[in-house]
Structure 1
Amino acid sequence: MDLVTEGVLTLNRTVQLLNTYNAGKVDESFFSQLYGKDGAAKLGRILIEECNHLNIFVGKAINETYQAAALPFDLSIRQRLVEQLVNECKKMGKTVTVKYY
């Protein structure tokens, strides 16, 4: 296991990075973001530079913090982001499997 992440925010930013990479918009600004210290940058680097086979394990539980703060959260958001991540990885020729719990 290379990385465990909180979820939605990291996935969203990682999808953006991979989309930029797949679109060929790799300039100095892109690499500055990709080599940042945040979780999305780390995940993006792993997926672009090191990954051939990606196994994604997605929990269906709702974080109690979202409920306590009365923040709107829908499991479909997480599922949509996972689907986008899978699509971007497949564009790079990665083999991807997803398992929901």
Structure 2
Amino acid sequence: MSLKIVVLAKQVPDTRNVGKDAMKADGTINRAALPAIFNPEDLNALEQALRLKDAHPGSTVTILTMGPGRAAEVIREGLYRGADNGYLLTDRAFAGADTLAT
């Protein structure tokens, strides 16, 4: 039985080395001051999807992310790790979307 697996992935700020420039006066994260990375929890999901792909010959893994053009890095990393396809949803209408929307 082959599977068609979709992994929803997000690019997030790398908060491992947060400095004083990483926070804005209003208490929100200054995304421009931090590098963006593949969300670690989503990376776990990708790894599990790839295990399922290996266990079920003929299966495919697709990465889906939403964000600005730079979020394509998540797609590239997913493809490098073994995903078969990747799609980036990008539109100015998504700018400022809250956590529930993304």
Which TM-score band applies after superposition, normalised by the shorter structure?
A: 0.3 to 0.5
TM-score after normalising by structure 2 = 0.38
Q: Could you say which structure has the larger radius of gyration?
A: 2
Greater per-residue strand proportion:
2
Asked which structure has the greater RCO (Cα within 8 Å, sep 6+), the reply is 1
Greater per-residue helix proportion:
1
